[in-house]
A and B are shown apart, each in its own frame.
Chain A
Amino acid sequence: MTTVTAPSPLTAGEKGRAGDKFFSGLTFAAGALILVVLLFVTLFLVVNAYPALVASPAELTGESFFSYVWPLVLGTLLAAGLALLFATPVAIGVALFISHVAPRKLAKPVGYVIDLLAAIPSVVYGAWGMLFLAPLLVPIYDWLHTYLGWIPLFGDPSATGRTILTASIVLAVMVLPIITALSREIFVQTPKLHEEAALALGATRWEMIKMAVLPFARPGVISAIMLGLGRALGETMAVALVLSSGALGWNLLSEGNNTIPAEIAANFPEASGLRYNELIAAGLALFVITLVVNLAARWIVNRHKEFSGAN
């Protein structure tokens, strides 16, 4: 990644040490740079959000900033949560298929195709969801309402299919390659000795995966899911194109609900004055959520470290 070439061990000495110093300085600068950028983003958000946070409620869109932002926060978490719910099992399945089940001839092309999914711009996903997927899902939503309508989640279905459930499915497709690619990398890292030991003890392939591969990979897979969650939380274009936004509601099959990024994208171009600050403040809320979610994930990973089987 960097242009620095490692000094040959033969010429190591004073010169080598200088190279070492240069290299560590360079990496330190890179590490510091990312923190500085993060700091400036935080500063920008806080400074611009501040007027909306202290403004009198009468000037704001909702009754108070909190009442404006909490349906958006819940909507964002709902969409991202559903997306992970759909994507995670599939992604782990695909990753295991590639790493442990598929013949090598098949595994490579499937891996490439999954990687390719990550390269598709979100606008394209949005257009696909809006023009192709949403109309396709309308009869399925009708069916769900007819037979499972007693569950409040499946209320009156939308005639266009532009619902939070559709948005979640599009998001799931978008995070799928991220979780798959990272999980696959981790699954193939499982020590061969562990796998062979499990097989030697008479485990079937599934039991071997259950006993050796999954415990070893758990922290990595959680990290992969968190990366996917980050994308799902922040995804703007696809949601803005696919969802008929509206007030927060339980019904997954009708229009309504909205996410913070989509709200910002829809209203930012014409926003002025306090409305602008309000939207930035919503962005700050999203920033905080992402931070909290990532810290929680880190905590989970650390807690499970000692049982991972890697040691």
Chain B
Amino acid sequence: MKLTRIGQAAAVLSIAALGLTACGGSNNPGTSSSGAGTSGSGSGSASGSASASDAPQVTGTLTGSGASSQQSAMAAWAEGADGIKSVQSGLKVQYSPDGSGAGVKKLIAGQVQFAGSDAALDADEQKQVQTFCGPEGAMNIPVYIAPIAVSFKLSGVDKLNLDASTVAKIFSNKITKWNDPAIAALNEGVTLPDAKITPIHRADESGTTDNFTEYLHSAAASDWSWDPAKAWPSDLAGESAAKTSGVVGLAAQTEGSITYADLAAATNLSHASIKVGEEYVVPTEEAAAKIVEASKRVESTNKNDMAVEIDYSNAPAGSYPVTMVSYQIFCQTYKDQNTVDMVKAWGTFVSSQAGQTAAQDEVGSAPLAASISDEAAKAIATITVAK
């Protein structure tokens, strides 16, 4: 009896605790949003980005759904003091991190006004979305760029050079020792220990895994035979942990480990420099933004689509190739003027330099290059009411 009662109390408490933390995460009000436009005033107060605050004030609630990778950045954009509230005090944005696939489905079904996704709409989805978005479909706007660091823990070694093929071999268990000749050849002058390599991958399905395997698949096709996917290849054995914090934590407590994670989150680890052309590039936000800027656009039926395809084989000097690009997907046309105004205000802000800086301060993502920001602003400006 006592046992069950204590058990019940514990269950109730833990559920209550979960509920409370869940609320705490989402209902964080933008405390003292400095420079927020006073209610009802026609002109936005002049702080933050110049481009967005010129826009007339809009009121209403936008709903979005999609990739959980954007969740923290989304909190900064939607709730933070430097977020949308600093330019549009009447605009509320709700985002549920249901996953990229679910977000796109909801946009197709017209349940949300925009979707967040780690992958741009494919041709098939672009066709399906026309029911809700009008004959011109939707546009993929890159808003969240995050370098994925190849991080390791090896005492005595804090700088390491790797190329795509070596990374692929390490993560497919073909290279199992740190002093393997293949690694040593890239790191002259570094004393590598005769220790076992423990590669760690994500246990849950994740956009990080998708982008990382995409890189290995494209840049080291002969050493990585698996197709890029959100789930780690099931026939490839290895240590794993859930979520970014899980892999980073596990790597930090395991000597000789190597993993891949969002650079901003992999704080306790050393990061490998990745070979681009003839040089080795340290993962930084700037280097990640650079490769996105240099990337080719994917052909699309929508002329304002900005979906990029990173060209790993042809990366410009000083750019960091293992980079995740996450999009927000907006319709070309919406049913009513107010929705159009809200979407425009939101999209312009998120892709503006002010919005990008807000996300960088909050989660350490790489801000979009100015040219991409401008292009996004132009693309979003073409959104109109459906005829």
Contact = CB atoms under 8 A, between A and B. Distances in A.
B3 A246 contact: no
Nearest to A127: B249
A265 to B, nearest CB: 8
Interface string A125-148: 000001100010000000000000
Contacts of B235: 247
Contacts of B361: none
Interface centre among A118, A131, A159, A177 (most CB of B within 10 A): A159
Interface stretch (A16-24, A78-86, A270-278): A270-278
Interface stretch (A34-42, A213-221, A237-245, A284-292): A237-245
Interface string A152-181: 000000111010000000000000011001
Contacts of A267: 204-205, 231
B349 to A, nearest CB: 27
Contacts, number: 104
Given A159-B198, A159-B256, A244-B241, A269 B6 contact: no
B386 interface: no
Interface in A247-281: 247, 249, 254-256, 266-267, 269-273
Nearest to A266: B204
A255 B237 contact: yes
A174 to B, nearest CB: 12
A272 to B, nearest CB: 4
Interface stretch (B97-105, B122-130, B365-373): B97-105
B239 A119 contact: no
A160 B68 contact: no
A272 B10 contact: no
A138 to B, nearest CB: 9
Interface centre among B2, B203, B204, B257 (most CB of A within 10 A): B203
A191 interface: no
Given A160-B198, A160-B250, A267-B204, A245 B240 contact: yes
A115 interface: yes
A255 B249 CA distance: 17
B110 interface: no
A159 B259 CA distance: 14
Interface string B277-305: 00000000000000000000000000000
Nearest to B103: A272
Contacts of A271: 99, 205
Interface residues of A, number: 36
B230 interface: yes
Contacts of B255: 159
B234 interface: yes
A271 to B, nearest CB: 7
A120 interface: yes
Contacts of A241: 242, 246
B101 A270 contact: yes
Nearest to B204: A266
Contact of A121 (B10, B101, B206, B246): B10
Contacts of A266: 203-205, 242
Contacts of A160: 198, 200, 239, 250, 253-254, 257
A123 B17 CA distance: 12
A182 B101 CA distance: 47
Given A115-B6, A272-B101, A159 B254 contact: yes
A101 to B, nearest CB: 21
Contacts of B253: 131, 135, 160
Given A159-B255, A181-B3, A241-B242, 14 more contacts: A119-B10, A130-B241, A135-B253, A160-B253, A160-B254, A162-B241, A162-B250, A182-B3, A244-B240, A244-B241, A245-B203, A254-B237, A255-B240, A270-B204
10 contacts: A120-B10, A121-B13, A121-B14, A135-B253, A159-B254, A160-B250, A240-B242, A266-B242, A272-B99, A273-B101
